[in-house]
Structures are given as structure tokens and as C-alpha cells.
A and B are shown apart, each in its own frame.
Chain A
Amino acid sequence: MDELELRNTLKVERAIRNLTQAELGELAGVTRKSVNAIETGRMVPSVLLALKLARALGVSVDAIFSLAGGEEAVAQPPQNVHS
């Protein structure tokens, strides 16, 4: 199975809103280091933090975070369990 990787557009969304990492961190209730670690892929955020970041930026979580790699596995719709 292909390795799935979390990608994010946090830096782009932040730049669009002209926010610094520290400002975004403040809005989401985390430190600048957390924002930096997520942007550079050093840390995978918790669901709660992803939701907080999305709320702080005024977008949905999908708009910031996406899965890359292993497209076949992800793209397949779930099998219909009803006969």
C-alpha cells in the first residue's frame, strides 16, 4: 500500500490573509512554533488543532489539509454493504 502523506496549504492561506505565523498561532491558540512545524511538515496536527486553524482562517479543514499519495486507496468509494 502506498504511503499517505498529509499536505497543507496553510502557508498560502496565511499569506492571502497577510498573517504572520505568530498571529495565526495566536488566533488558533497555539504557539508560532506549532504553526511553523505544521507548515514545514514536521508535525501532523490533531483534529482539534486542524479545526481551530480552519476556523481562524475562515475556511473548511479540507481547504487547508489534504492527503497525498495512495490515491487509488483513497479515491475508491466504499463498497455497498447492502445486498
Chain B
Amino acid sequence: MVVNADERGGGDTVEMLLRMNRRALAVLSLLIVFLGATAMAMALWPDTPLAEWPLRFPLLFPIAVLLAFFSLRFFGGGREFRADAAEVKVILNDDFRRANLLRAQRIALVLILIAQVPLGVLFMRVQPTRAVIGMGGTTIALGVSAVILLFLFFDRE
């Protein structure tokens, strides 16, 4: 039996949610790259403004996150979506998105492993505590941002 699509509605909502999701992921990846750069600067160049901002302006990052959250909601029309809404389920269970996410995760894992060598060389000359913080922060930031950016790349039109 063929179901009439017009009776169901919600296609535009799914498209809008997808666009919002892409925007949110792009913003999130920028924030993570910024945090990774900060962790790297704290270990390698502790006297630079990039390394000092968390100490000077500790509330800056939470405020930036809140601003990003509310601006994304504003551009998304300010609509509320429950996690169990039908449109959200469609997106979460979408085959193409799942396949792209798995692909992105696999490639990001390889990138992280390869990146350990140059990161190790880079952090070799600093104190062990700083090296651990720097390498940890950079690796996490690199991994998460790589997953997000690769996913956005594979998930494009």
C-alpha cells in the first residue's frame, strides 16, 4: 500500500532540523578546535594570550557556549524539539547519517594515531606535566573535531 506523503507532514521540519544540526556541529567543532589550541598553547607557549585567557577570563568560555546555543536556537526558529519527537527519531535513525558517522569515526581514529608521532615530537621539549596536558587536550580536540568535520564532509549533498 502506498501511503500519501501529504497526510503525514513533517518533511520540512526534518530538513530544518538537519540544517540546524549541521550548523550546530560546525559551531561545536570551532569551539573544540579553539579549546585544543588553548591546551596546546598552555603547554608550549604559556605566556601567550591564547594560553592565559582561561585564567584571566574564566567565564568567557561558558558565556561563549551559551551565546552559541541561544544563537543557534534563534536561527532555528526557536522551536522546541523533544528527543522522542518523530522528526528527531528520523534523523537519529537515518541510515545515511549513521554510515557517515561510522566512516568519520574510522578515519578520525587513524588520524589520531598518526598524529601522536608529530605531537610527541612537539611536546618532547616541555615539562612532563605540561606535555601530558598538552598532548591530552590536543588529542581529544583533534579527534572530536576530526569526527565532526569528516561527518559534515561525508554528509554533504
7 tightest Cβ-Cβ pairs between the two chains A and B: A23-B5, A34-B96, A58-B2, A22-B11, A31-B94, A37-B96, A26-B11
Q: Classify chain B: how many residues form its interface, as a range.
A: 20 to 34
The docked-state distance in angstroms from the alpha carbon of A6 to that of B87 is 29
Q: Is the CB of A31 within 8 A of B8?
A: no
Q: Does B157 contact A (CB under 8 A)?
A: yes
Shortest distance from the beta carbon of B95 to any chain A beta carbon, whole Å: 5
Residues of chain A from 5 to 53 with CB closer than 8 A to chain B in the complex? 17, 19-20, 22-27, 29-34, 36-37, 43, 45-46, 49
B binding-site residues for A, Cβ under 8 Å: 1-3, 5-6, 8, 10-11, 14-15, 18, 90-91, 93-97, 99, 155, 157
Q: Is the CB of A33 within 8 A of B155?
A: yes
Q: Is the CB of A29 within 8 A of B157?
A: no
